[in-house]
Every structure is written in C-alpha cells, then in structure tokens.
A and B are shown apart, each in its own frame.
Chain A
Amino acid sequence: MTEPSTTLLEGVRLSCMRDDRILFEELDFSLKPGQVLLLEGKNGSGKTSLLRILCGFREPDAGDVRWCGEGISGSQYYADMAYVGHMDGIKKELTVHENLKVSLALSSAGHYSIQQALDKVKLTGYDDALVQSLSAGQKRRLSLARLLITHTIVWILDEPFTSLDKQGIALIESLMVEHCTNGGMIVLTSHHDINLQGVEIQHIPLS
C-alpha cells in the first residue's frame, strides 16, 4: 500500500507543547493528492503551531512529519510546498509585478505565468501599482497569487480568507478546488465555513 513513490504528506504521532501546556499529542494524519486537511479549534488551540511544524519552522516535541515517506528536512519537500501565513510576505515598497517576480525566482515556475495569475485573482492592471497602495483584501489575493505562479503540490494556508470579501472567498475556494482536482493537496485553518465542491475534506479537531 505505501509504495515509496506515492505522494503523501503524513504526520506521525505529532506532539506539541507550549509553556508546559500540551497543545496536541499523538496526532496522526495522512493526506493524499486531491484532499484537503482542515484544522479546527479555538484560538490558541495549536492550529498555527501545527502549520508551522508542517513548514519546518518549528520542531515537533515528538513525532515526525513525512513527505513521500521521508523527513521534511530535504529540499524536495520545500520545492513542492508553499505557505501563506498570517503575514502576507510581500514587500509594500515593491510593485505587484516585482513581488511576484521575486517569489518566482525563489522557487520553480508553475502552472500560470504572472500575468495569468493576476487575471485569476482579479488583480489585472495592477502590475505596476506599489503594494502599499493596495487594500488589505487585494494584498491577500496577491499573496495567494504566489501559489499559482510557482510549482507546488502542498498548500499550507493559515486563515486564507482573512480580510477577503464574499467574492474573494468564492474566488479562492474555486482556486482551491482547481488545485485539488489537479492532484494538489491543501492544509488549512479557517474560521469561515468552507465550501469546496467535490473535494474530500479531512477534519482535525484540536482542543
């Protein structure tokens, strides 16, 4: 069943502690292409900590994260994943186009060109606008455009719908469905109800 070549993101008996509090313990999950993993829980229940463990920013206090059967310290995992966190990770003094070009240079080219990605997230014509002149929702859409221009399999999204309006949320949901039908996988946290048609969603409740 578990051939080494299967694309698979696994968490094996993960534990995380913070200031003597146990956030989660013995957490197991496995995520296959086309699936979405939704982390649920109150504020402070360890959702962001788990995402940061999946990004490799934080070591789990016990357990392992495995990508295709191997640890995530290898560069292959980083070539296949992308993360959009609380902070947008875009420079406000650069233009929209310059920001995306830097992201592209740091990773390998993906499905869409910069122009197509901007069309997708409804930022057409903003190429040369400085990011500081964009609204919060537009910045969010720009940071999500990064996912489209680079080659990625795993999307790790921390509250991707923050500061987006209804259309924005629907737009990102449709992009997420498209990503999953193309064999991608998504790990996300969200306070909003998500509506992804035809996509298998696993829930992990954290308490």
Chain B
Amino acid sequence: MSLTNAFFAIIRRDLVLALRRRSEIANPLLFFVLVITLFPLGIGAQPQLLSAIAPGIIWVSALLAAMLSLDSLFRSDFDDGSLEQILLSPHPASVLVLGKIIAHWLVTGLPLLIIAPLLAIFLGLPSQSIGILLLTLLLGTPVLSLIGAIGVALTVGLRRGGMILSLLVLPLYVPVLIFASNAVDMAGSGLPIHAQINILIAILLLTLVLAPWPTAAALKMSMS
C-alpha cells in the first residue's frame, strides 16, 4: 500500500469515470466556446475593440467555465458514499484529494487550453500574445480548480450550495483573472510580462501546496 499507488489510482479512477460520463468534459468546454462566440455577435463589426478586449473575454469565460464544472468535483462521490471510503483510507486525505483535483483539471481545464488558440484567432488576438495566453491558462486554470475545491468541499453537504459556492470562490479567483488577462494584454503591446507570470507561478505553487489541506478538512466536516 504505497501512497503513490493510491494517488495514481485515484487519478486513474476519476479519468475513467469522466470518459464514461463524457458530459462532464463536454459541458464546460461547450460553455467556454459558446460564450466566446457570442461576444463578436453582441459587439458587432468592430474588430479593433474585439481584439482589445479578447484577453479579458477569454479569461472571464475560462473562469466561469471552471466555476460551472466545480460541482462535479465531489458531488457524485459524496452522493454514493465513495467519499467516505476515500476519507477512511489510512493515507493522508489531502494527497488523495489532490489526486482528485488534478484529475478534475485534466478533464475540465486542459480542454480549454487546447481550444483556446482557435478562439483567440477567432477574436483577433495579436499572434504574439497567443503563446502568452496559453501560458497564463496553463498556470491559471489549475489554480481555479485548486481554490474551487476548497469551496466545493465546504458546500458539498448543502443541498443548494451553488449560490454560496460562487460567493465563496469568485473573490478568490479575482487575482488570477487580473494578472493573467493583464499579462496577455501587455504581451500584445510588446511590453515585458515577467512580473505577472512570476506572480501567477507563485499563486500556483502556493495553492498547490496549501489548498489540499483545507479541502480535506472541509470534506471531513461535510461528512458529519
């Protein structure tokens, strides 16, 4: 019984489950694509304006898509009792929970990353900032899953936790949104963006280390 084994078993289990339930992958992705394609229709024929606000549009949509997918992180495990079994494992719950969060990101965050360049071109984002957009998504979306996990863990025991979840989690998402969209924006004008990227890396590392603990503690609380 090694911890690494358990960690990868959880990731594998969640990936297999996601593949068999497809809608879990498709929903956030579809939402992301739909919101972004609606913007040009709403704004009209103003390509300059569109390309100027493209970083913001893409990042806000990614953030909302991540929020939308959060509930699926622990809901089904909570409802069928698998979560009890995970928490009763002799392994530290925080590590197993981190496995679940990573699997969740692979299923809901990574697809956004893959489709983002296409949507960026579609919005007329300058080509030199597409790479930076991908970099910020790569650094930022895991943070959304990690922070969101704390919120879901706190609200999973409530029948109608959706509203509270957004109120809890959205304010914590704001720093990621500000630094990420700002970095993409500035890269478009050819300005240096080291500061923003460094801060995003710092946020990612910090949440990667710190978020699983309160998540595990909150899940235990939700159990009682």
Contacts and interface: CB of A to CB of B under 8 A. Distances in A.
A102 interface: yes
Contact of B6 (A56, A98, A105): A105
The 10 closest A-B pairs by CB, nearest first: A87-B81, A105-B9, A108-B1, A89-B81, A79-B90, A106-B89, A78-B90, A58-B224, A89-B85, A93-B20
Contact of A88 (B17, B81, B90, B91): B81
Contact of B80 (A56, A57, A89, A105): A89
A82 interface: yes
B6 A106 contact: yes
A101 B10 CA distance: 10
Interface residues of A, number: 33
A52 B20 CA distance: 32
Nearest to A49: B224
Contacts of A79: 90
A91 B80 contact: yes
A71 B192 CA distance: 56
Contacts of A146: 85
For chain B, what secondary structure do more than half of its interface residues adopt (helix, strand, loop), or is it mixed? helix
Given A89-B80, A91-B17, A83 B9 contact: no
Nearest to B76: A91
A106 B80 contact: no
Contacts of A90: 80-82
A90 B84 CA distance: 11
B223 A57 contact: yes
A86 interface: yes
B13 A98 contact: yes
B153 interface: no
Given A94-B16, A108-B1, A109-B1, A55 B88 contact: yes
Contacts of B79: 87
Nearest to B83: A89
B5 A105 contact: yes
B89 A107 contact: yes
A87 B223 CA distance: 13
B75 interface: no
B84 A91 contact: no
B1 A85 contact: no
A89 B87 CA distance: 12
B96 interface: yes
Given A57-B84, A90-B80, A102 B9 contact: yes
